[in-house]
Amino acid sequence: MTPPEPDPGRDDVTGFMLRSYADSGHLSFTAPPADVIVRRARRRTTTKLALSFAAVVAVAAGSIAAITGLGPDPDRDPPIIGPTPTPSVSLSPTPSPPPTPATTPPSTPPDPSGRSRPASPDNTPSGTGSAPTPVSVRGVDWANATITMTASTGDECLTGRIRFVDGRGGRPGDDAPHIMIAPSYYDERAATFGDLNGDGRDEAVVHGSCLSGPGDEDGSGQVLVVTGRSGQLVGSWVGPVAEVVNDVEVTGERLVISSTKKYAEPEVPVDRTYRWTGTRYVQS
């Protein structure tokens, strides 16, 4: 079919093209089946209805909000009754007690002479911490004292912790080895006192005799230096053995012993000086 010629007096070019398309356009397309056209028509109708309903709901909600306002009205709406909320309680931790500061024992001041502090006769260095309270040697009842005895340089003698009763200490029984102690070689004299180890505390100088048993009436007598530095009385044997001790003297941390050999003719006193080395007394 031949399209009609354009009529310039009646149509313009655009109108002519549209009319030409209407007359011949159906020849270029195939129409869908009737059931497809029906389904599409129903779908479009459902969509239009849903959109219309949503628009109505939105308009109604906006109107209600505008009328009633946002949020509940305390004058119109009744209060909500429910359990009263329990205020939260913040439990503060119980403060722990402050730590007890460690007690540091006071240090021993330096010796003015520049020498280090010597150890005590019981091998406990002077000036160290946690040392027991020293025992004063003044006022001791020597006949009934308890003394830790060190080894003798002479004859064998009892060692260890010895309890004296009436001047005698050791194992029970007259025939058992024992030690006799007295303030001095001569009964009428008192003990001698003085600082022999440089710790500022006095030592006591007494006299002791080691007896092996019956028949040993003379014994091996010797000077005994007793210190209370370690919290107990500790005795150290010093000087010649089995001699008559004429006199003892403490001077300048030195012990001077004047003694005479027994049964010697003539009797010639001999003076000997002893000093503390930190572990024992030696002649100087």
The conformation of residue 85, written as its DSSP 8-state character, comes to P
Average pLDDT across the chain, whole number = 73
Q: Is the peptide bond before 74 cis (omega within 30 degrees of 0)?
A: no
34's enclosing H/E stretch is helix 34-68
The pLDDT of residue 117 is: 46
Global pTM value: 0.53
The pLDDT of residue 97 is: 61
Whole domain around residue 61: which residue ranges? 34-65
Closest by CA position to 235, among listed 179, 284, 173: 179
Q: Are residues 147 and 258 in the same domain?
A: yes
- Residue 200 located in a structural domain: yes
Contact 180, 209 (CB under 8 A): yes
Number of domains in the chain: 2
Q: Are residues 42 and 162 in the same domain?
A: no
Residue-wise burial string across 41-77, b where 16 or more C-beta atoms lie within 10 A, e elsewhere: eeeeeeeeeeeeeeeeeeeeeeeeeeeeeeeeeeeee
How far the first Cα of the chain sits from its last, in Å, is 157
210's enclosing H/E stretch is strand 203-211
DSSP 158-178: --EEEEEETTEEESSSTTS-E
Q: Are residues 147 and 276 in the same domain?
A: yes
Distance in angstroms (rounded) separating the CA atoms of residues 75 and 72: 9
Question: 22-26, 126-130, 141-145, 153-157: which range is least confident on average?
Answer: 126-130
Q: Are residues 151 and 58 in the same domain?
A: no
- Residue 247 located in a structural domain: yes
- pLDDT tens profile 160-218: 999 999 999 987 776 788 899 999 988 788 999 999 999 899 999 999 988 876 655 66
Q: Are residues 48 and 158 in the same domain?
A: no
Q: Are residues 147 and 278 in the same domain?
A: yes
